[in-house]
Structure 1
Amino acid sequence: MTLEATAIHYGYDDETVLEEVSLSVDRGEVLAIIGPSGVGKSTLLRLLALFDAPDHGRIEYDRNEVWTAPERQRLEYRRKIGMVFQEPSLFDANVRRNVTYGLRVRQSWHDRLRHEVASLVGQTNGTSDAIDALETVGMAEQAEQDASSLSGGEAQRVAFARALAYDPDVLLLDEPTSDLDPRNTAVIEDAVQQARNRGIGVAVATHDMHQAERIADRVAVLLGTDVIEVGETEQMFDDPADERTRKFIDGELIY
C-alpha cells in the first residue's frame, strides 16, 4: 500500500502554498517531513489525509486516483488514513470513549447497533482495540478517567491512541510533540516505531531535526513551495544531494 502525491499544486487567497510537490508514504515506514514553520507542512498533510483536494496534480491511494473516484470509494480511502493534529481535540467523555470514537464512526449502522447491545450486556467489543492502543501510549490505566482532567501530554497520547485504535494503513502526524516534555515526547516516538512495526505507514511533519533523525526511515525537505529532496535519513543528514538541504539542516538557511 502506498499513499502518493504527484505534482500537486495548492493555494488559497491568491497565494501558492505548494507547487509541483511529489511525495509518497509506504507501508511500514516512517517518513519525516521537515521544513521551517509556515512553509506548508500542515497543508501537505491535510491533502494527504484527503481533507482537501489539490488544485492540480494527483493523489493516489494504492495506485488508485482518489479525487476522480466515486465519493463512496473516496470515503473508504479516507477511513484508512488516521491523522493526529498538533493540538489534541478530545470529547467531553472518558479516555476510553474518546479512543473508541474512530471505531464507532467507521462502523455500519448494524455494527453500531451490535456494539451498543454488546456494551449493555457487558460483552467485549471495540473496547479491546482501544485498550491495546492505550497500552501503546502508556495510558491504559487512565481508560475511565475524564479526558478533561488530562495534562496536555496525556491528551496528545490519547489522540494518538484514537488514531491508532482503528488500525489505519497510514498515520499522519502534524508536529505531534512540539509542545510536549521529554517524557511524553519519548512515549509518542516509541508509539510511532510500534506503528511502523505493525506495518502502518507513518508521515510526521516536524521542525525538530533531531526527532527526524531519530525516528525516520526517510526524510523529505519542504522549502519554499516544493519538496526539494527526499532520501534515506542517514544520507539526508550526512550527505544531502541538494545544497539547500545541507544549509537548512545546519541552520544556515533561514526562512
Structure 2
Amino acid sequence: MTLDTIDVHHGYGTETVFDGVSLSVRRGEVLAIIGPSGVGKSTLLRLLALFDAPDQGTVRYGGEPVWQIPEWQRLEYRRRIGMVFQEASLFDASVRRNAEYGLRVRQSWPDRIRHELATLVGRTNGTGDAIDALDTVGLREKADQDASSLSGGEAQRVAFARALAYEPDVLLLDEPTSDLDPRNTAVIEDAVLEAKNRGIGVGIATHDMHQAERIADRVAVLLENDVIEIGSPETVFENPADERTRKFIDGELVY
C-alpha cells in the first residue's frame, strides 16, 4: 500500500510550512525524511498519518484521495497507519498490555464490523501479535513487567512494538531514536528493517544522517517549504542534484 502527498500546501496562520510537497511512502521500503530542526518533518508525518488535513493538495492512501471520502472510511485508513512519536507514552500497565493496546481496540469491534473493515483493506480478521512484536524489539522476556520499570530506551521500544503489533500497512516514525543510547538505537533500526521485510512501508523523520544512510532505501530532503530532492542514500549524500542539499549535508546552511 502506498501513501502519497501530492502538491500539498500547509501552514499555521500566516506561516507557510509546505508549498507544494509531493512524496510517497511505498510498501516494503524505508523512506528517510531529513532536514533541519523546525523545517516541518513532524508536520509532514502528521499529514501522512491523516491526523491533519492539508490546506491544499492531495493525500492518497492506496491511490484514493483520503479527504474526499466518507469519514468512517478515512478513519479505517488511519487505523492502518502506525505512528511512533519521539517520546514514548505508555499506560500504567504491563509491557504486554501496552503492546496489545491497538489490537485490543480492534478486537473489541463486533465481528461484522471487523470483517467489513478487513475486507475493505484486504486483511483477514486475525492479524497481529503483541508478543511477536515485543520479540522484534527484544522485550519478550519483559512482557509481564510493569511498563513504569522500563528505561527510556526500552519504553520507546515498547511504543514501537505497539505500533507494529497490529501489522499496519505504513509505519511512521518521528525521530524515534533521538534520545536513545547506541544499543537501543540499534534495536530500533533492526526493527525498522524487519518491518520493511514484512512488506510494511516505513517513513522515518530523522536528524541523524548516518541513520538515514544505514537504513533508508530513499532519502527525502526537506528544505525551504518543500522536498527539494529525493533519491537513494548514495545519490543524496555523495552526489546530490541540488546544491542546497550539499550545503545542508556539509553544514554550510544556517537555520
Unmatched 5+ residue regions in structure 1?
A: 112-125
Contact in 2 for aligned 1:96/1:127 (Cα 8 Å): no
How many percent of aligned residue pairs carry the same amino acid? 79
Give the CA deviation at 1:127.
11
Deviation string 1:51-96 (CA, Å, 9 cap, x unpaired) is 0000000000010000001011101110110000000010111000
Report the counterpart of residue 197 of structure 2 in structure 1: 197
- Write out aligned runs for 1:99-118 (5 A): 99-110=99-110
Give TM-score scaled by structure 1 length: 0.92
In the other structure, the counterpart of 1:97 is 97
Which position in structure 1 is the counterpart of 2:115?
none
User: Deviation digits for residues 22-79 of structure 1, max 9, x if unmatched?
Assistant: 0100000000000001110000000000000000000000100000010111011101
Structure 2: where are the runs of 5+ without partners? 112-125
Question: Hey, what's the Cα distance between the residues in 2 that align with 1:137 and 1:154?
Answer: 9
SS for the counterpart of 2:254 is coil
| 1:129-148 → structure 2 map (5 Å cutoff) | 129-148=129-148
Please give the secondary structure, in 1, of the residue aligned with 2:168.
Answer: coil
* C-alpha distance in 2 between matches for 1:166 and 1:201: 14
Indicate how the Cα distance of structure 1 residues 146 and 127 shifts in structure 2: closer, same or farther if over 3 A, else same: farther
Query: For residue 208 of structure 2, what is the amino acid of its counterpart?
Result: D
TM-score by length of 2: 0.92
Does the 8 Å contact 1:79/1:106 carry over to 2? no
Hey, what does 1:169 align to over in structure 2? 169
Q: Which amino acid aligns with 2:98?
A: N
Q: Report the CA distance between 1:108 and its aligned residue.
A: 4.6
CA RMSD of aligned residues (A): 1.5
Paired amino acid for 2:229: E
CA contact (8 A) 1:11 1:18 kept: yes
The whole-number CA distance in structure 2 between the counterparts of 1:79 and 1:175 is 21
Per-residue CA distance 1:110-169 (angstroms, 9 max, x = gap): 35xxxxxxxxxxxxxx89810000000000000011111111000000000000000000
Structure 2 CA distance for aligned equivalents of residues 42 and 177 of structure 1: 14
Separation in 1, partners of 2:213, 2:252: 18
Distance 1:10 1:127, change over 3 A: closer
Aligned-pair CA distance for 1:107: 3.0
Distance 1:197 1:158 in 2: 20
Task: Please give the alpha-carbon distance, in whole angstroms, between the structure 2 residues aligned to 1:85 and 1:170.
Answer: 14
Query: Are 1:100 and 1:127, in contact at CA under 8 Å, matched by a contact in 2?
Result: no
